[in-house]
Chains A and B, each alone.
Chain A
Amino acid sequence: MANTTHADHAHDHHDHKPHGLKRWLFATNHKDIGTMYLVFACLMFFLGGSMALVIRAELFQPGLQFVDPQFFNSMTTVHALLMLFGAVMPAWTGLANWMIPLQIGAPDMALPRLNNFSFWILPFAFMLLLLSFFVPGGGPASGWTMYPPLVLQMGDGFPLMIFAVHLMGASSILGAINVIVTVMNMRAPGMGLLNMPLFCWTWLITAYLLIAVMPVLAGAVTMLLTDHFFGTSFFNAAGGGDPVMFQHIFWFFGHPEVYILILPAFGIVSEIIPTFARKPLFGYETMVYASASIAFLSFIVWAHHMFTVGMPLAGQLFFMLSTMLIAVPTGVKVFNWCATMWKGSLTFETPMLFSIAFLFLFTIGGFSGLMLAIVPADFQYHDTYFVVAHFHYVLVPGAVFAIMAGVYYWLPKWTGHMYDEKLGKLHFWLSIIGVNLLFFPQHFLGLAGMPRRIPDYATQFADWNMVSSIGAFIFGFSQLLFVAVVWKAVRGGVTAPQRPWEGAHGLEWELPTPVPYHSWDQPPPPSVIAQGVTH
């Protein structure tokens, strides 16, 4: 069996695993590290979610109810940082850790110790960030975009926030290097690049984006740090710099960042929809090329986040048109998913429900993005709740739903138990009702002129804010069900067969259920790979 060599013995048996705390602290196993990433993401999701509930509680009715405006601003800022860098990105890395080696027939990630390093940086980074709440001046309250000069007015928490961002970036870069090296160097023989499941493909592209833009964010926040403490003038007009320069550098990172958050979702949905439609994915190669095109375009659209800040007309035109161009590859994807379902033998288990919800609701978020891309219209929408509605549609029923779909989809494989389908469906229906109540009215609020990031508002916005807050609490509390379902499946339940979904293809389903602690320590033979090819 094991050809895999280990530091202290040449052969390792399948279920030999370290025990106790050491197993997690000193981990090198991709499944353990993936689990840690997912658990960490879940914790951050609930912490960031409770901050969102503070925001929605305050906005339930006009006037100041619970928190003072400074703390309210901290809530919006840290909610965003936690959700992006603490919940969604680590959840993707966790899924990558679990699934990429299984899907390409590799024994582990290419650089296992580096893998554990990238994970363990995260808890420390978020400790730094959260510590800023307890120092004079309080937590970051500038919005997650950290625009100067506002952000430079922070108290003692300022360097804590900056260094937290540095550490999050370092973690992402190391994780991305690991994914690229794993996919490029660890594929089983016979597993060509265009045989890989789309999740591996979209993650590979995501990893390139991460390596290209996280260092730019590190540079941007470093400039903030030196402007604050060492008298540099990057963002100070008196010294020849420009606060708008920060926005350009930040969004050069920031726009690819939003695709970092969504591309792996495309990959997951592209695996789940064919499984439950019992048809191969329509247009596999166009999916790959569309993902790559989206990634390329993400580098040349950044200034659409800052149309109102003032830029030459040629710049506005260029960024408007390049942004609209993204609709083409995204449209290819949406049509491919629809075509995959066309005349399929559809069944609607929980992963499929979340994926279909993704398809519809992400598309709504995409359309509102197109509206925002139009310069003259954006002058009206900019910094209103319409923007909040837009990016929450792509991130919550987009990225987060896809993460949940992925967890439901692979949970039987990981744990060896089927999850509780009834509870799963209940979780889905509560989530989808909650999420639409929560975010759809925010479109109306934004179009009517309600600005984002304010703790109080004019009374004409009261009704829809109340609806939105009710939706928020329904959505937030129904996520506890998700934890319950996962916990139940981890603890026990109906034994899952090797291929719990009859339509599922991919190398991970060729392994026993639950997946042994060490898998593919011998590369799968060509016949198995041929069976596993998804298209």
Chain B
Amino acid sequence: MATMTAHAHDGTPQTTGGKYYVPHDSPWPVYGSATLFVLMIGLCGWLNDWYGPWLFALGLAMLFGLFAGWFGVVISEHQKGMYDLQVDKSFRMGMMWFIFSEVMFFAAFFGALFYARQLSVPWLGGDGVRIFNKLLLWQGFENTWPTNGPAKLSPRDDGSFETIPAFGLPAINTAILLLSGVTVTIAHHALREGKRKILNIFLAATFLLGFLFVALQIEEYHHAYTELGLKLSTGIYGSTFFMLTGFHGFHVTVGAIMLLVIWLRTMSGHFTPQRHFAFEAVAWYWHFVDVVWLGLFVFVYWV
């Protein structure tokens, strides 16, 4: 306790709690909630054959307005130097816990994958005391992976499907993401040392690698849908494969867009070697999608 009180008399901004930036009233939160509502109603309408696509498009337009408006305010406040180090720390902690919540979202789908591979498919195949599943319910269904289940759900007439081998495109994509993790780190070091040119080049390389990853992923999906008989509806393998890689691909896309925005900001001279929270937040996010990909590569494509 004594040390903390001593800090208070130093007047260091991290510990005093004074001079804390409390923003004035803002229209963006309530506008953002309305945006989410329009998006969700639009999606519901789409799924139910109401007038969904139009509402959804309106919601998307509102979403762009939201990002431009809300982040615009935050960026301009940051540029005016309104945020002290305590605010900076709040932002950092907020971003970290947001990423943790994203990790838990992926954990649900990894959980589904492990449950299917370790429990539900073996049980359907008559594992242990569940021998009657195999004898009576799903005759002759064998516990294998990959599988599209005892009903052989597949777009092909014979119920077969093929999978994407790990050491083809997915391995190249792994290399791309790992490389982008290196380039963003080089960019970060350059930013801290004030080498703006290196920063700009390596940050650009990072988001280009990100978009390249997404392009290759689209190519892979196209291949799966048109030639492999592997679709979202191809049993539990198709479900877990496309939901895990799909949500990951969505996060990569968002991350790459965030990197692009950060790059535009570095190009217009934002950020200093000491203060560049937004850069770091995006870099953390980028490492997060990278790590999730490693999990995907190992558990979805490889083993």
* A residues adjacent to B (C-beta < 8 A): 3-8, 18, 22-23, 25-28, 105-108, 110-114, 116-117, 119-121, 123-124, 127-128, 135, 156, 159-160, 163-164, 166-167, 170, 173, 176-178, 180-181, 184-190, 192, 195, 211-216, 218-220, 222-223, 226, 229-234, 236-242, 244-245, 248-249, 252, 312, 518, 520-523, 526
| Docked pose: A522 CA to B22 CA in angstroms | 12
* Contact indicator B23/A124 (Cβ below 8 Å): no
In the assembled complex, the CB of B77 is this many whole angstroms from the nearest CB of chain A, namely 7
Binding site secondary structure of chain B: helix
Can you list 15 A-B pairs, Cβ within 8 angstroms, ordered by A? A5-B21, A111-B94, A114-B29, A159-B48, A188-B17, A189-B8, A190-B8, A211-B104, A216-B111, A220-B108, A242-B116, A242-B120, A249-B115, A522-B18, A526-B5
B5: A residues at CB distance < 8 A: 189-190, 526
Question: Which residues of chain A come closer than 8 Å to B26, judged between CB atoms?
Answer: 26, 28, 113, 116
Determine whether the beta carbon of A240 is less than 8 Å from that of B237: yes
Contacts of A23 in B (CB 8 A): 25
CA distance A120 to B151 in the complex (A): 45
Q: A26-B26, A111-B90, A242-B123 are in contact. Are A4 and B97 (CB under 8 A)?
A: no
Say how far A109's CB is from chain B's closest CB, in angstroms.
Answer: 9
- Looking at chain B, what size class is its interface with the partner chain? 35 or more
Task: Name the residue on B nearest A128 (C-beta).
Answer: B40
Choose one: B22, B33, B90, B97; the contact of A6 (CB below 8 Å): B22
| A523 touching B239, Cβ below 8 Å | no
B20 within 8 A of A: yes
Give complex CA distance A109, B27 in Å. 18
Q: CB within 8 Å of A: which residues of B? A: 1, 4-5, 7-8, 15-30, 32-34, 36-37, 40-41, 43-44, 47-48, 70, 77, 82, 86, 89-91, 93-94, 97-98, 100-109, 111-112, 115-116, 119-121, 123-124, 128, 138, 147-151, 153, 231-233, 235-240, 242-243
- Chain B residues contacting A163 (CB-CB under 8 Å) are 40, 43-44
List residues of chain B with CB within 8 A of the CB of A108. 20, 22
With a cutoff of 8 Å between Cβ atoms, the chain A residues found around residue B121 in the complex are 240
Closest to B70 in A: A113
B239 touching A233, Cβ below 8 Å? yes
For the complex, what is the distance from the CA of A242 to the CA of B236, rounded to whole Å? 9
Interface of A is mostly: helix
Q: Within the complex, what minimum Cβ distance (angstroms) separates B231 from chain A?
A: 8
Q: How far is the CB of A417 from chain B (nearest CB, A)?
A: 27
Known: A27-B25, A159-B48, A252-B111. A240 touches B19 (CB 8 A): no
- A167 and B32 CA atoms in complex are apart in Å by 12
Query: Of A167, A187, A242, A248, which is within 8 A of B40 by CB?
Result: A167
Residues of A within 8 A of B93 (CB): 110, 180-181, 184-185
Which B-chain residue is minimally distant from A9 (CB atoms)?
B24
A190 to B111, CA, bound (A): 43
> Given A26-B25, A189-B7: A226 and B20 within 8 A (CB)?
no
**Known A28-B22, A230-B233: A117·B148 in contact at CB below 8 Å:** no
